[in-house]
A and B are shown apart, each in its own frame.
Chain A
Amino acid sequence: MPPQPGQGRTPAAASSNSTSANNTSTTSAPHNPIAKVIWEGSIPIQFSWDKAEAAAVGSSAVESFFYEAQRCSYFSLLTSHVRKHFVDMALHFIGDDAEVWYDYEGTPLKWHYPIGLLYDIHGLQASSGRGMNGSLLPWKVTVHFQNFPGDKLIKSQAVDICQDYFMAMIKEADYLRNGTTKKVMNMSKSDQTQLWDGLSSNNYDRFWGMNYKLMQNDGVMARNLPIRIYLPENCPVIQEPVSPIDDKEQPKTLRQILNASLPDLFPLVETGPPVAGAMIHGIIPSLDTSAIWASQNMSYPDNFLHVVIIFK
Protein backbone atom coordinates (compact mmCIF):
# COMPACT_ATOMS: atom_id res chain seq x y z
CA MET A 1 0.00 0.00 0.00
CA PRO A 2 1.64 3.27 -1.07
CA PRO A 3 2.17 6.12 1.38
CA GLN A 4 -0.84 8.40 1.71
CA PRO A 5 -0.80 11.64 -0.28
CA GLY A 6 -0.39 14.98 1.41
CA GLN A 7 1.02 14.53 4.86
CA GLY A 8 2.27 11.09 4.05
CA ARG A 9 4.80 12.23 1.51
CA THR A 10 8.23 10.81 1.90
CA PRO A 11 11.34 12.92 1.58
CA ALA A 12 12.04 11.11 -1.68
CA ALA A 13 8.80 12.39 -3.13
CA ALA A 14 10.30 15.85 -3.16
CA SER A 15 12.56 16.77 -6.03
CA SER A 16 15.78 14.90 -6.05
CA ASN A 17 18.91 15.34 -8.06
CA SER A 18 21.26 12.43 -8.03
CA THR A 19 24.55 13.88 -9.11
CA SER A 20 27.29 11.69 -7.83
CA ALA A 21 29.91 13.34 -5.70
CA ASN A 22 33.52 12.17 -5.27
CA ASN A 23 32.38 8.75 -4.17
CA THR A 24 30.62 7.01 -7.03
CA SER A 25 28.29 5.15 -4.71
CA THR A 26 26.97 8.30 -3.04
CA THR A 27 23.81 9.89 -4.29
CA SER A 28 22.85 13.36 -3.18
CA ALA A 29 20.18 13.56 -0.57
CA PRO A 30 16.79 14.67 -1.83
CA HIS A 31 15.89 18.17 -0.83
CA ASN A 32 13.90 18.05 2.39
CA PRO A 33 13.93 21.25 4.43
CA ILE A 34 12.48 19.57 7.52
CA ALA A 35 15.10 16.85 7.62
CA LYS A 36 17.82 19.46 7.02
CA VAL A 37 16.69 21.68 9.87
CA ILE A 38 16.56 18.71 12.20
CA TRP A 39 19.99 17.56 11.08
CA GLU A 40 21.44 21.01 11.77
CA GLY A 41 19.91 21.36 15.24
CA SER A 42 22.56 21.80 17.89
CA ILE A 43 22.97 22.40 21.60
CA PRO A 44 25.81 24.31 23.24
CA ILE A 45 27.37 22.16 25.97
CA GLN A 46 29.74 23.18 28.74
CA PHE A 47 31.84 20.17 29.76
CA SER A 48 33.41 20.42 33.21
CA TRP A 49 35.82 17.92 34.69
CA ASP A 50 34.51 16.15 37.76
CA LYS A 51 36.02 18.15 40.61
CA ALA A 52 37.25 15.22 42.69
CA GLU A 53 38.95 13.56 39.75
CA ALA A 54 40.57 16.78 38.59
CA ALA A 55 41.87 17.50 42.07
CA ALA A 56 43.32 14.00 42.32
CA VAL A 57 45.61 14.69 39.35
CA GLY A 58 46.39 18.17 40.60
CA SER A 59 44.23 19.95 38.07
CA SER A 60 41.52 21.63 40.09
CA ALA A 61 41.42 24.80 38.07
CA VAL A 62 40.96 23.39 34.60
CA GLU A 63 38.70 25.42 32.37
CA SER A 64 35.52 23.98 30.97
CA PHE A 65 35.31 22.87 27.40
CA PHE A 66 32.58 24.52 25.36
CA TYR A 67 31.25 22.68 22.36
CA GLU A 68 28.32 23.11 20.00
CA ALA A 69 27.01 19.56 19.72
CA GLN A 70 24.68 18.25 17.01
CA ARG A 71 21.41 17.09 18.48
CA CYS A 72 21.50 14.10 16.17
CA SER A 73 24.97 13.01 17.23
CA TYR A 74 26.20 10.93 20.17
CA PHE A 75 28.48 11.72 23.11
CA SER A 76 30.79 8.93 21.97
CA LEU A 77 31.56 10.96 18.86
CA LEU A 78 32.59 13.94 20.98
CA THR A 79 34.75 12.08 23.45
CA SER A 80 38.02 12.38 21.60
CA HIS A 81 37.57 16.18 21.38
CA VAL A 82 36.57 16.41 25.01
CA ARG A 83 39.44 14.28 26.20
CA LYS A 84 41.94 16.21 24.12
CA HIS A 85 40.91 19.47 25.73
CA PHE A 86 41.40 18.16 29.26
CA VAL A 87 44.59 16.30 28.44
CA ASP A 88 46.02 19.48 26.93
CA MET A 89 45.04 21.36 30.08
CA ALA A 90 46.37 18.90 32.62
CA LEU A 91 49.79 17.41 33.20
CA HIS A 92 50.48 13.70 33.72
CA PHE A 93 47.13 12.66 32.45
CA ILE A 94 46.24 10.61 29.39
CA GLY A 95 42.87 9.00 29.95
CA ASP A 96 41.16 6.35 27.89
CA ASP A 97 38.17 7.05 25.64
CA ALA A 98 36.45 3.84 26.71
CA GLU A 99 36.49 4.91 30.36
CA VAL A 100 34.99 8.34 29.73
CA TRP A 101 31.47 8.98 30.89
CA TYR A 102 29.22 11.96 31.39
CA ASP A 103 26.66 12.96 33.95
CA TYR A 104 24.12 15.73 34.36
CA GLU A 105 23.43 16.70 37.97
CA GLY A 106 24.59 13.30 39.15
CA THR A 107 22.66 11.18 36.65
CA PRO A 108 24.91 9.24 34.26
CA LEU A 109 24.01 10.06 30.66
CA LYS A 110 23.26 7.11 28.39
CA TRP A 111 25.80 7.59 25.62
CA HIS A 112 23.80 5.37 23.29
CA TYR A 113 20.96 7.92 23.21
CA PRO A 114 21.29 10.81 20.75
CA ILE A 115 22.46 14.04 22.43
CA GLY A 116 19.28 15.91 21.57
CA LEU A 117 17.17 13.17 23.13
CA LEU A 118 19.26 13.27 26.31
CA TYR A 119 18.87 17.04 26.53
CA ASP A 120 15.11 16.81 26.04
CA ILE A 121 14.89 14.16 28.76
CA HIS A 122 17.29 15.59 31.33
CA GLY A 123 17.77 19.24 30.69
CA LEU A 124 14.24 20.28 29.93
CA GLN A 125 12.57 17.88 32.34
CA ALA A 126 14.72 19.17 35.15
CA SER A 127 13.53 22.67 34.45
CA SER A 128 9.91 21.62 34.06
CA GLY A 129 9.53 23.25 30.70
CA ARG A 130 11.38 26.42 31.62
CA GLY A 131 14.07 25.50 29.16
CA MET A 132 11.96 26.16 26.10
CA ASN A 133 13.46 29.64 25.79
CA GLY A 134 16.98 28.37 26.18
CA SER A 135 17.55 29.42 29.77
CA LEU A 136 19.26 26.12 30.54
CA LEU A 137 21.90 26.61 27.92
CA PRO A 138 24.80 25.98 27.72
CA TRP A 139 23.96 22.54 29.02
CA LYS A 140 26.29 21.88 31.95
CA VAL A 141 27.61 18.34 31.68
CA THR A 142 30.26 16.78 33.94
CA VAL A 143 33.01 14.65 32.41
CA HIS A 144 34.54 11.66 34.19
CA PHE A 145 37.63 9.72 33.20
CA GLN A 146 37.40 6.98 35.82
CA ASN A 147 35.01 4.80 37.77
CA PHE A 148 32.84 3.99 34.80
CA PRO A 149 29.44 2.95 36.25
CA GLY A 150 29.06 -0.38 34.47
CA ASP A 151 25.89 -1.11 36.41
CA LYS A 152 24.19 1.94 34.92
CA LEU A 153 25.80 2.53 31.55
CA ILE A 154 26.46 0.16 28.69
CA LYS A 155 30.19 -0.51 28.56
CA SER A 156 32.83 1.04 26.46
CA GLN A 157 31.48 4.03 24.71
CA ALA A 158 34.30 3.75 22.26
CA VAL A 159 33.17 4.79 18.82
CA ASP A 160 32.91 1.31 17.31
CA ILE A 161 30.51 0.17 20.03
CA CYS A 162 28.45 3.29 19.36
CA GLN A 163 28.37 2.39 15.68
CA ASP A 164 27.25 -1.16 16.52
CA TYR A 165 24.44 0.15 18.66
CA PHE A 166 23.40 2.67 16.01
CA MET A 167 23.26 -0.05 13.34
CA ALA A 168 21.26 -2.30 15.67
CA MET A 169 18.66 0.48 15.94
CA ILE A 170 18.61 0.90 12.15
CA LYS A 171 18.05 -2.85 11.84
CA GLU A 172 15.27 -2.80 14.39
CA ALA A 173 13.56 0.11 12.65
CA ASP A 174 13.75 -1.82 9.39
CA TYR A 175 12.27 -4.87 11.08
CA LEU A 176 9.39 -2.84 12.46
CA ARG A 177 8.66 -1.31 9.05
CA ASN A 178 8.95 -4.49 7.03
CA GLY A 179 8.77 -7.52 9.30
CA THR A 180 12.29 -8.53 8.26
CA THR A 181 15.75 -6.99 8.40
CA LYS A 182 16.47 -8.05 4.84
CA LYS A 183 16.71 -4.53 3.52
CA VAL A 184 19.44 -3.54 5.95
CA MET A 185 21.20 -6.90 5.89
CA ASN A 186 21.29 -6.78 2.08
CA MET A 187 22.90 -3.37 2.06
CA SER A 188 26.49 -3.57 0.92
CA LYS A 189 29.13 -3.02 3.54
CA SER A 190 30.04 0.29 1.93
CA ASP A 191 26.39 1.41 2.01
CA GLN A 192 26.11 0.55 5.70
CA THR A 193 29.35 2.38 6.33
CA GLN A 194 28.06 5.39 4.42
CA LEU A 195 25.24 5.75 6.94
CA TRP A 196 27.57 5.82 9.90
CA ASP A 197 30.22 7.90 8.14
CA GLY A 198 27.63 10.46 7.14
CA LEU A 199 26.45 10.75 10.74
CA SER A 200 29.87 10.77 12.38
CA SER A 201 31.29 13.33 9.96
CA ASN A 202 28.12 15.42 10.13
CA ASN A 203 27.62 15.14 6.37
CA TYR A 204 23.91 15.53 5.63
CA ASP A 205 24.17 14.55 1.96
CA ARG A 206 26.22 11.48 2.69
CA PHE A 207 23.86 10.29 5.39
CA TRP A 208 20.53 11.08 3.78
CA GLY A 209 21.74 9.93 0.36
CA MET A 210 21.59 6.44 1.84
CA ASN A 211 18.98 6.85 4.55
CA TYR A 212 16.23 8.08 2.29
CA LYS A 213 16.09 4.62 0.72
CA LEU A 214 15.36 3.15 4.13
CA MET A 215 12.81 5.83 4.97
CA GLN A 216 11.07 5.71 1.62
CA ASN A 217 10.83 1.92 1.96
CA ASP A 218 10.33 1.40 -1.80
CA GLY A 219 7.04 3.27 -1.48
CA VAL A 220 5.59 0.48 0.66
CA MET A 221 3.57 1.48 3.71
CA ALA A 222 5.30 0.48 6.92
CA ARG A 223 3.75 -2.35 8.93
CA ASN A 224 4.72 -0.63 12.14
CA LEU A 225 6.30 2.74 12.87
CA PRO A 226 9.56 2.79 14.79
CA ILE A 227 8.66 4.91 17.81
CA ARG A 228 10.06 5.07 21.34
CA ILE A 229 8.37 7.02 24.10
CA TYR A 230 10.24 8.31 27.15
CA LEU A 231 8.59 9.02 30.47
CA PRO A 232 10.38 10.84 33.30
CA GLU A 233 12.32 9.26 36.11
CA ASN A 234 14.04 6.45 34.28
CA CYS A 235 10.81 4.65 33.47
CA PRO A 236 11.24 1.74 31.07
CA VAL A 237 11.01 3.05 27.54
CA ILE A 238 7.69 2.44 25.83
CA GLN A 239 8.28 0.62 22.61
CA GLU A 240 5.30 -1.17 21.18
CA PRO A 241 4.53 -2.02 17.57
CA VAL A 242 2.38 0.81 16.22
CA SER A 243 0.49 0.50 12.99
CA PRO A 244 0.53 3.71 10.94
CA ILE A 245 -3.13 3.39 10.01
CA ASP A 246 -6.25 2.91 12.09
CA ASP A 247 -9.02 0.38 11.52
CA LYS A 248 -10.60 2.72 8.98
CA GLU A 249 -7.29 2.62 7.09
CA GLN A 250 -6.73 6.29 7.80
CA PRO A 251 -3.29 7.56 8.80
CA LYS A 252 -3.06 7.84 12.55
CA THR A 253 -2.23 11.09 14.26
CA LEU A 254 0.35 11.45 17.03
CA ARG A 255 -2.57 11.84 19.39
CA GLN A 256 -3.93 8.41 18.48
CA ILE A 257 -0.52 6.80 18.89
CA LEU A 258 0.02 8.39 22.31
CA ASN A 259 -3.51 7.65 23.38
CA ALA A 260 -2.97 3.94 22.72
CA SER A 261 0.05 3.81 25.06
CA LEU A 262 -0.83 6.58 27.54
CA PRO A 263 -4.61 7.07 27.48
CA ASP A 264 -4.71 9.03 30.74
CA LEU A 265 -2.20 11.58 29.55
CA PHE A 266 -3.43 11.81 25.97
CA PRO A 267 -7.19 11.43 25.72
CA LEU A 268 -8.61 11.29 22.22
CA VAL A 269 -10.89 14.19 23.02
CA GLU A 270 -9.47 16.92 25.21
CA THR A 271 -11.81 17.80 28.04
CA GLY A 272 -9.59 20.40 29.64
CA PRO A 273 -6.12 21.92 29.32
CA PRO A 274 -3.64 19.22 28.29
CA VAL A 275 -1.61 17.74 31.14
CA ALA A 276 1.19 16.48 28.95
CA GLY A 277 2.86 17.17 25.62
CA ALA A 278 5.08 15.20 23.29
CA MET A 279 8.50 16.69 22.63
CA ILE A 280 10.52 15.74 19.58
CA HIS A 281 13.84 17.47 18.84
CA GLY A 282 13.11 20.10 21.44
CA ILE A 283 9.77 21.19 20.02
CA ILE A 284 6.23 20.14 20.87
CA PRO A 285 4.46 19.42 17.59
CA SER A 286 0.71 19.46 17.20
CA LEU A 287 -0.82 16.15 18.21
CA ASP A 288 -2.83 16.25 15.01
CA THR A 289 0.35 15.67 13.03
CA SER A 290 0.25 12.53 10.91
CA ALA A 291 2.32 9.84 12.58
CA ILE A 292 3.66 8.52 9.28
CA TRP A 293 4.74 11.99 8.29
CA ALA A 294 6.45 12.48 11.65
CA SER A 295 8.17 9.11 11.30
CA GLN A 296 9.48 9.89 7.83
CA ASN A 297 10.48 13.49 8.45
CA MET A 298 11.25 13.86 12.13
CA SER A 299 13.00 10.64 13.02
CA TYR A 300 16.51 10.72 14.36
CA PRO A 301 19.30 9.29 12.18
CA ASP A 302 18.73 5.89 13.80
CA ASN A 303 15.34 5.90 12.05
CA PHE A 304 13.37 6.04 15.29
CA LEU A 305 10.96 8.74 16.32
CA HIS A 306 12.06 9.38 19.91
CA VAL A 307 9.26 11.12 21.78
CA VAL A 308 9.77 12.62 25.25
CA ILE A 309 6.69 13.14 27.38
CA ILE A 310 6.68 16.56 28.98
CA PHE A 311 4.36 17.40 31.83
CA LYS A 312 2.83 20.82 31.62
Chain B
Amino acid sequence: MTSDTHQHQRSRLSARLSYSNFEVAINAFLHQTRHHTPWSYVEYSPRRGQPLQGYLTLTKLVHSHHASSGAPSTSTGTLSTGARIRTIDPADQLLLDELAEQLDDIPDGEQEEEADPVVENSTSTTTFDYLSVNYHIVFSPSYQVPVLYFNAYRPDGPAISLEEIYESLVPEEWRGAVRDAGLNGGISQQDHPVLNTPYFYMHPCETVPLMETILQNNGSPSGTPFLENYIVTWLSFTGQAIGVSVPTDMVATNG
Protein backbone atom coordinates (compact mmCIF):
# COMPACT_ATOMS: atom_id res chain seq x y z
CA MET B 1 0.00 0.00 0.00
CA THR B 2 1.75 3.08 -1.23
CA SER B 3 0.31 5.37 1.40
CA ASP B 4 2.55 3.45 3.76
CA THR B 5 5.84 4.45 2.14
CA HIS B 6 5.74 7.76 3.98
CA GLN B 7 5.31 5.78 7.16
CA HIS B 8 8.22 3.49 6.28
CA GLN B 9 10.58 6.42 5.84
CA ARG B 10 9.59 7.82 9.19
CA SER B 11 9.96 4.48 10.90
CA ARG B 12 13.64 4.15 10.11
CA LEU B 13 14.19 5.66 13.51
CA SER B 14 10.93 5.67 15.32
CA ALA B 15 9.34 4.26 18.42
CA ARG B 16 6.66 2.88 16.10
CA LEU B 17 7.75 -0.09 14.03
CA SER B 18 6.83 -1.29 10.63
CA TYR B 19 6.46 -5.06 10.52
CA SER B 20 9.80 -5.43 8.75
CA ASN B 21 11.50 -3.38 11.48
CA PHE B 22 9.86 -5.65 14.04
CA GLU B 23 11.40 -8.64 12.27
CA VAL B 24 14.84 -7.03 12.44
CA ALA B 25 14.31 -6.23 16.12
CA ILE B 26 13.21 -9.72 17.17
CA ASN B 27 15.96 -11.41 15.22
CA ALA B 28 18.51 -9.19 16.92
CA PHE B 29 16.93 -10.05 20.26
CA LEU B 30 17.05 -13.78 19.53
CA HIS B 31 20.73 -13.46 18.80
CA GLN B 32 21.39 -11.42 21.93
CA THR B 33 19.59 -13.81 24.25
CA ARG B 34 20.65 -17.11 22.71
CA HIS B 35 22.90 -18.02 25.65
CA HIS B 36 20.62 -16.63 28.33
CA THR B 37 16.97 -17.36 27.72
CA PRO B 38 15.51 -19.89 25.26
CA TRP B 39 13.23 -17.60 23.22
CA SER B 40 12.03 -19.27 20.03
CA TYR B 41 10.85 -17.85 16.74
CA VAL B 42 7.50 -19.13 15.52
CA GLU B 43 6.67 -18.62 11.87
CA TYR B 44 3.15 -18.50 10.54
CA SER B 45 1.22 -17.63 7.44
CA PRO B 46 -1.33 -14.87 8.09
CA ARG B 47 -3.37 -16.14 5.17
CA ARG B 48 -2.89 -17.62 1.74
CA GLY B 49 -0.71 -15.56 -0.50
CA GLN B 50 0.73 -13.44 2.27
CA PRO B 51 4.42 -13.55 3.21
CA LEU B 52 5.24 -15.46 6.37
CA GLN B 53 5.39 -13.56 9.61
CA GLY B 54 6.75 -14.47 13.01
CA TYR B 55 6.63 -13.92 16.72
CA LEU B 56 8.71 -15.00 19.71
CA THR B 57 7.78 -17.45 22.44
CA LEU B 58 9.25 -18.50 25.75
CA THR B 59 8.07 -21.06 28.31
CA LYS B 60 9.04 -20.86 31.95
CA LEU B 61 8.15 -22.60 35.16
CA VAL B 62 7.13 -20.29 37.93
CA HIS B 63 6.40 -21.13 41.52
CA SER B 64 2.73 -20.64 42.23
CA HIS B 65 1.62 -18.59 45.19
CA HIS B 66 -1.48 -20.70 45.47
CA ALA B 67 0.31 -23.43 47.36
CA SER B 68 -1.71 -26.60 47.73
CA SER B 69 -3.34 -27.23 51.07
CA GLY B 70 -0.93 -27.74 53.91
CA ALA B 71 2.11 -26.42 52.12
CA PRO B 72 3.57 -23.33 53.74
CA SER B 73 3.82 -20.68 51.03
CA THR B 74 7.17 -19.02 50.75
CA SER B 75 5.99 -15.50 51.39
CA THR B 76 3.12 -13.29 50.42
CA GLY B 77 5.53 -10.80 48.96
CA THR B 78 7.84 -10.88 45.99
CA LEU B 79 8.64 -14.18 44.40
CA SER B 80 11.92 -15.28 45.83
CA THR B 81 14.45 -17.72 44.60
CA GLY B 82 15.07 -20.84 46.59
CA ALA B 83 11.42 -21.58 47.31
CA ARG B 84 11.04 -24.56 49.55
CA ILE B 85 9.99 -27.60 47.57
CA ARG B 86 9.05 -30.81 49.23
CA THR B 87 8.48 -33.88 47.11
CA ILE B 88 8.10 -33.97 43.39
CA ASP B 89 6.31 -36.28 41.02
CA PRO B 90 8.88 -38.06 38.79
CA ALA B 91 7.35 -36.65 35.58
CA ASP B 92 7.67 -33.13 36.96
CA GLN B 93 11.23 -33.84 38.05
CA LEU B 94 12.20 -34.62 34.47
CA LEU B 95 10.74 -31.37 33.25
CA LEU B 96 12.48 -29.49 36.02
CA ASP B 97 15.82 -31.10 35.26
CA GLU B 98 15.59 -29.99 31.64
CA LEU B 99 14.72 -26.48 32.59
CA ALA B 100 17.30 -26.35 35.38
CA GLU B 101 20.01 -26.48 32.75
CA GLN B 102 18.60 -23.43 31.03
CA LEU B 103 17.73 -21.59 34.22
CA ASP B 104 21.29 -22.00 35.53
CA ASP B 105 22.50 -19.81 32.70
CA ILE B 106 20.63 -16.79 33.97
CA PRO B 107 22.81 -14.43 36.01
CA ASP B 108 21.87 -13.68 39.59
CA GLY B 109 20.87 -10.15 38.65
CA GLU B 110 17.35 -11.42 37.94
CA GLN B 111 14.83 -10.29 40.50
CA GLU B 112 11.37 -11.76 40.10
CA GLU B 113 12.48 -15.16 38.96
CA GLU B 114 11.06 -18.59 39.01
CA ALA B 115 11.82 -20.97 41.85
CA ASP B 116 15.26 -22.48 42.13
CA PRO B 117 14.60 -26.03 40.93
CA VAL B 118 16.58 -27.75 43.58
CA VAL B 119 14.68 -30.39 45.43
CA GLU B 120 15.08 -30.76 49.14
CA ASN B 121 13.78 -33.95 50.52
CA SER B 122 11.95 -33.67 53.73
CA THR B 123 9.50 -35.52 55.81
CA SER B 124 6.57 -33.43 54.56
CA THR B 125 4.70 -34.77 51.53
CA THR B 126 3.20 -31.64 49.98
CA THR B 127 3.26 -31.39 46.19
CA PHE B 128 5.34 -28.80 44.43
CA ASP B 129 2.94 -26.20 43.08
CA TYR B 130 4.18 -24.53 39.95
CA LEU B 131 2.80 -22.90 36.86
CA SER B 132 3.95 -23.26 33.30
CA VAL B 133 3.97 -19.80 31.74
CA ASN B 134 4.09 -19.05 28.02
CA TYR B 135 5.23 -15.60 26.93
CA HIS B 136 4.75 -14.38 23.36
CA ILE B 137 6.12 -11.25 21.76
CA VAL B 138 3.75 -10.43 18.91
CA PHE B 139 3.56 -7.42 16.60
CA SER B 140 0.51 -5.17 16.89
CA PRO B 141 -0.39 -3.70 13.51
CA SER B 142 -2.70 -1.16 15.17
CA TYR B 143 -0.23 0.21 17.72
CA GLN B 144 2.85 -0.70 15.64
CA VAL B 145 4.77 -1.94 18.63
CA PRO B 146 5.53 -5.35 20.16
CA VAL B 147 2.91 -6.63 22.60
CA LEU B 148 3.61 -9.12 25.38
CA TYR B 149 1.02 -11.89 25.52
CA PHE B 150 1.09 -14.62 28.14
CA ASN B 151 -0.82 -17.52 29.65
CA ALA B 152 -0.12 -19.60 32.70
CA TYR B 153 -1.26 -23.16 33.28
CA ARG B 154 -1.35 -25.51 36.23
CA PRO B 155 0.43 -28.82 35.66
CA ASP B 156 -2.94 -30.57 35.44
CA GLY B 157 -4.06 -28.28 32.65
CA PRO B 158 -6.44 -25.47 33.66
CA ALA B 159 -5.39 -21.94 32.84
CA ILE B 160 -5.29 -19.61 35.81
CA SER B 161 -7.37 -16.56 36.60
CA LEU B 162 -6.34 -12.92 36.44
CA GLU B 163 -6.13 -12.81 40.23
CA GLU B 164 -3.73 -15.70 40.25
CA ILE B 165 -1.71 -13.96 37.54
CA TYR B 166 -1.35 -10.95 39.81
CA GLU B 167 -0.38 -13.10 42.76
CA SER B 168 2.04 -15.39 40.99
CA LEU B 169 3.61 -13.31 38.25
CA VAL B 170 3.33 -9.63 39.16
CA PRO B 171 5.90 -8.61 41.80
CA GLU B 172 4.17 -7.16 44.83
CA GLU B 173 5.71 -3.73 44.40
CA TRP B 174 4.23 -3.54 40.87
CA ARG B 175 0.72 -4.71 41.57
CA GLY B 176 -0.82 -1.35 42.41
CA ALA B 177 0.74 0.35 39.39
CA VAL B 178 -0.29 -2.39 36.99
CA ARG B 179 -3.86 -2.49 38.26
CA ASP B 180 -4.22 1.27 38.04
CA ALA B 181 -2.68 1.58 34.59
CA GLY B 182 -4.85 2.93 31.82
CA LEU B 183 -8.58 2.46 31.51
CA ASN B 184 -8.82 -1.10 32.65
CA GLY B 185 -5.66 -2.11 34.42
CA GLY B 186 -2.44 -3.00 32.70
CA ILE B 187 -3.40 -6.65 32.11
CA SER B 188 -6.43 -7.90 30.22
CA GLN B 189 -7.40 -10.80 28.03
CA GLN B 190 -8.04 -10.83 24.35
CA ASP B 191 -7.85 -13.22 21.45
CA HIS B 192 -4.23 -13.90 20.51
CA PRO B 193 -3.88 -12.26 17.08
CA VAL B 194 -2.43 -15.41 15.50
CA LEU B 195 -3.79 -18.30 17.57
CA ASN B 196 -7.23 -16.70 18.05
CA THR B 197 -7.58 -18.15 21.57
CA PRO B 198 -7.70 -16.17 24.83
CA TYR B 199 -4.40 -14.82 26.12
CA PHE B 200 -3.54 -12.26 28.77
CA TYR B 201 -1.59 -9.26 27.50
CA MET B 202 0.04 -6.06 28.68
CA HIS B 203 -1.72 -3.02 27.23
CA PRO B 204 0.51 -1.52 24.55
CA CYS B 205 -0.68 2.07 24.54
CA GLU B 206 2.08 3.17 26.90
CA THR B 207 4.78 1.54 24.78
CA VAL B 208 5.08 4.28 22.18
CA PRO B 209 5.52 7.18 24.63
CA LEU B 210 7.97 5.04 26.61
CA MET B 211 10.09 4.12 23.60
CA GLU B 212 9.94 7.68 22.27
CA THR B 213 11.40 8.94 25.54
CA ILE B 214 14.19 6.42 25.33
CA LEU B 215 14.82 7.28 21.71
CA GLN B 216 15.18 10.96 22.59
CA ASN B 217 17.52 10.24 25.46
CA ASN B 218 19.69 7.94 23.46
CA GLY B 219 21.07 10.68 21.27
CA SER B 220 21.97 10.74 17.61
CA PRO B 221 20.70 8.33 14.97
CA SER B 222 24.10 7.55 13.57
CA GLY B 223 25.66 4.50 15.07
CA THR B 224 22.94 4.02 17.70
CA PRO B 225 21.53 0.55 17.24
CA PHE B 226 18.09 1.56 18.44
CA LEU B 227 16.29 -1.04 16.41
CA GLU B 228 18.64 -3.85 17.39
CA ASN B 229 18.16 -2.99 21.05
CA TYR B 230 14.44 -2.25 20.78
CA ILE B 231 13.18 -5.53 22.21
CA VAL B 232 15.73 -5.69 25.01
CA THR B 233 14.87 -2.16 26.05
CA TRP B 234 11.12 -2.61 25.74
CA LEU B 235 11.12 -5.95 27.54
CA SER B 236 13.24 -4.67 30.39
CA PHE B 237 10.34 -2.32 31.21
CA THR B 238 7.29 -4.30 30.14
CA GLY B 239 8.40 -7.74 31.19
CA GLN B 240 9.34 -6.88 34.77
CA ALA B 241 5.73 -6.35 35.61
CA ILE B 242 4.87 -9.94 34.85
CA GLY B 243 7.88 -12.03 35.63
CA VAL B 244 9.97 -11.97 32.50
CA SER B 245 12.89 -9.69 31.97
CA VAL B 246 16.33 -9.61 30.50
CA PRO B 247 19.58 -10.10 32.36
CA THR B 248 20.63 -6.69 33.63
CA ASP B 249 23.94 -6.71 31.83
CA MET B 250 22.14 -6.84 28.53
CA VAL B 251 20.04 -3.73 28.87
CA ALA B 252 21.15 -1.21 26.25
CA THR B 253 23.39 1.53 27.52
CA ASN B 254 23.66 3.85 24.55
CA GLY B 255 24.79 7.41 24.80
Contact = CB atoms under 8 A, between A and B. Distances in A.
Interface string B129-172: 00000000000011110000000000000110110000000000
Contact of B198 (A152, A176, A245, A246): A152
Contact-size category for A: 35 or more
Contact of A181 (B159, B185, B205): B205
Interface stretch (A27-35, A126-134, A235-243): A235-243
Given A171-B183, A175-B143, A241-B142, A154 B191 contact: yes
A152 B197 contact: yes
Interface of A: 110, 112, 150-155, 164-165, 167-168, 171-172, 175-176, 180-181, 184-185, 192, 231, 234-243, 245-247, 260, 262-264
10 contacts: A154-B189, A164-B185, A168-B183, A171-B205, A180-B208, A236-B47, A236-B194, A236-B195, A236-B196, A240-B141
Nearest to B198: A154
A150 B46 CA distance: 24
A243 B49 contact: no
Given A153-B198, A155-B161, A237-B193, A243 B1 contact: yes
A172 B142 contact: yes
Nearest first, the 6 closest Cβ-Cβ pairs linking A and B are A164-B184, A243-B3, A247-B2, A154-B189, A154-B198, A240-B141
Interface string B170-193: 000000000000111100111101
Contacts, number: 83
A246 B3 CA distance: 6
A209 to B, nearest CB: 20
Contacts of B49: 263-264
Given A155-B161, A164-B183, A235 B47 contact: yes
Interface of B: 1-4, 46-49, 141-144, 158-159, 161-162, 182-185, 188-191, 193-198, 203, 205, 208
Given A150-B158, A154-B189, A155-B189, 10 more contacts: A164-B184, A165-B190, A168-B183, A168-B184, A168-B188, A192-B183, A236-B194, A236-B196, A237-B191, A262-B47
Contact of A247 (B3, B142, B205, B208): B3
Nearest to B160: A150
Contacts of A164: 183-185, 188
Nearest to B189: A154
A243 B196 contact: no
A241 B162 CA distance: 30
Contacts of B142: 172, 175-176, 239, 241
A161 B143 CA distance: 22
Chain B interface SS verdict (over half): loop
A153 B191 CA distance: 8
Max chain A C-beta neighbours (<10 A), residue from B46, B183, B185, B196: B183
Contacts of A172: 142-143
Nearest to A224: B142
A150 B198 contact: yes
A165 B201 CA distance: 12
Nearest to A110: B191
A243 B4 contact: yes
Contacts of A175: 142-143, 205
Max chain A C-beta neighbours (<10 A), residue from B1, B49, B158, B162: B1
A241 B198 contact: no
Contacts of B141: 239-241
A194 to B, nearest CB: 14
A311 to B, nearest CB: 14
Contacts of B188: 164-165, 168
Nearest to A244: B3
Max chain B C-beta neighbours (<10 A), residue from A175, A184, A237: A175
Contacts of B195: 236
A47 B208 CA distance: 44
Contact of B144 (A180, A239, A241, A260): A241
Given A154-B198, A243-B1, A236 B189 contact: no
A234 B208 CA distance: 30
Nearest to A163: B184
B162 A155 contact: yes
A222 to B, nearest CB: 12
